[in-house]
């Protein structure tokens, strides 16, 4: 796997989380451009794996797989984060408008 930004080969998994039994989440950081991205490791069925002589006999996917997740809290969290951000923005606008109102003597 290469860095999605600069395509550099060397990167580190700076944080590894196994909060759920069926997946591992890694926060990765490129050693060249310091870009940060996340990957998720999930189990795949045995029939999807083959052994490649081209890749020194290492396991590879035989064909592309469509992976569906069973954990959808992230989508809900994104909605909640968007709502909270919009609320903060509106509060900031209201505060600025209040400060800019002319003072009545």
User: Using CA atoms in the order 66, 72, 76, 82, what is the torsion angle rounded to 10 degrees?
Assistant: -40
**Residues in contact with 18: Cβ distance below 8 Å, sequence separation at least 6, in sequence order:** 24, 25
pLDDT on residue 1:
85
Indicate yes or no: pTM above 0.75: no
pLDDT on residue 35:
94
pLDDT on residue 70:
60
> What is the total residue count of the chain?
105
H-only helix segments in the chain: 73-100
Residues of the chain with pLDDT under 70: 69-76, 103-105
Total H helices, total E strands in the chain? 1, 5
pLDDT on residue 69:
63
pLDDT on residue 72:
54
Sign of the dihedral defined by the CA atoms of residues 56, 59, 63, 68, in that order: negative
């Amino acid at each position: 796997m290469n860095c999605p930004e600069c395509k550099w080969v060397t990167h580190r998994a700076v944080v590894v989380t196994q909060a759920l039994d069926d997946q591992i989440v890694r926060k990765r950081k490129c050693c060249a451009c310091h870009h940060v991205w996340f990957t998720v490791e999930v189990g795949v069925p045995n029939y999807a794996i083959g052994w490649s002589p081209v890749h020194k006999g290492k396991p590879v996917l035989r064909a592309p797989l469509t992976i569906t997740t069973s954990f959808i809290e992230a989508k809900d969290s994104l909605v909640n984060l968007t709502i909270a951000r919009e609320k903060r923005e509106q509060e900031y606008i209201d505060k600025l408008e209040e400060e800019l109102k002319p003072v009545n003597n």
